[in-house]
Amino acid sequence: MFKLAALFVIFTFTECTYGATWVYSQGPYGPENWLNSYDACGTMSQSPIDIVHGATVADEKLGKFNRTTFTAIPDKMTLLNNGHALQVNLEGGYTVSDRNVLPGDYQAFQFHLHWAAVNQSRGSEHWIDGKQYFAELHIVHYNTKYASIGEALTQHEGLAVLGVFVAIGSETNENIDLLLNPIAQIQQYNQQMIYSSKFDIGRFLPEDLENYYRYSGSLTTPPCFESVVWTVFNEPIYISRAQAETLQTSLYARANSTDLVGGNYRLPQPLHDRKISRPGKSGASPLTSTILLHVTSMLVTAYALRF
Ligand SMILES: [Zn+2]
């Protein structure tokens, strides 16, 4: 029963049967008008956001993610072109049960990518100090205290998403090839492929699992529910330019259309009065550290000048 409910939600979630159609391009169904069909898209704690590092607050209760959590291989993995993104649905995904990093037990149920359109270089959803990366990977988990993903989806802290920036480097990322090699099989809208050789999700995470940003936000696509505990890792992963181009040119967004999936990101939303935390000793904001550094160097100079 539970599995059936979970599957139902995964499919409704990805096939946007929640209501009206929505798209990333401007127009009546574009991001500016999502709130006309999906009320939550116009509320106060929306995602993504531009993270201003200098305004983040250190929280010593936040710990480092344990890499071994992510090495468990899911029971079933399905690669899917849902018309909005490249997505992998998981059954029997790993569970993060570590209160130092997340406020509950969260089980992974899908991951997907947002990326820049053809001939564009900016496609991440979150920005850091005004910088937008080429792409962003989202690993989506639900809080297992709820009976189903569908129930968790609408609850405060019902979901936890891990965001990983993807930048363009000089080398081929063999892990990303696990998503790109079979991409020709899901070129058309709604095509999917079940992996016969499954793999762990940990391979898509950066080396550094200690430095990240944490805030309360929303799904970045309709229905925009404000149920997400966001983790955005500081360190990006890298893919080659050729891999980036494969991603940009392989998937069709709709049936009988040559429109490609890409440019599939929402622009940063207002932070309002939300706080962005990061692991670290409380009280030492990066701004105070910088000021302290300047004051110290001024004192050292003043002291040196006396002699
Ligand atoms: Zn996403």
Cis peptide before 31 (omega within 30 of 0): no
**What pLDDT shows up at residue 282?**
81
Residue 137 CA to ligand 1 center (angstroms) comes to 7
The answer to whether the beta carbons of residues 96 and 247 sit under 8 Å apart is: no
**What pLDDT shows up at residue 254?**
93
**What pLDDT shows up at residue 46?**
98
Q: Which DSSP string corresponds to 178-238? A: HHHTTGGGG-STT-EEE-SS---GGGGS-S--S-EEEEEE--SSTT--S-EEEEEESSPEE
pLDDT-flagged residues of the chain (< 70): 1-20, 283-307
The ranges assigned to domains in the chain are: 2-305
Residue 109 CA to ligand 1 center (angstroms) comes to 13
**159-197 burial string, b = 16+ CB within 10 Å, else e?**
bbbbbbbbebbeeebebbebbbeebeebeebeeebeeee
**What pLDDT shows up at residue 285?**
57
Q: Are strands 159-168 and 57-59 parallel, antiparallel or unpaired?
A: unpaired
Residue 273 CA to ligand 1 center (angstroms) comes to 23
Tell me which amino acid residue 255 is. Answer: A
Separation in Å, CA 120 to CA 23, 74, 209, 221, 243: 18, 34, 29, 21, 14
Residue 249 CA to ligand 1 center (angstroms) comes to 19
Residue 171 CA to ligand 1 center (angstroms) comes to 25
User: First vs last Cα of the chain: how many Å apart?
Assistant: 80
Residue 112 CA to ligand 1 center (angstroms) comes to 6
Q: What kind of fold does domain 2-305 have according to CATH?
A: Carbonic Anhydrase II (3.10.200)
Kind plus residue range of the DSSP H or E element containing 37: helix 34-37
Q: Give the active site residues.
A: 84
**What pLDDT shows up at residue 284?**
56
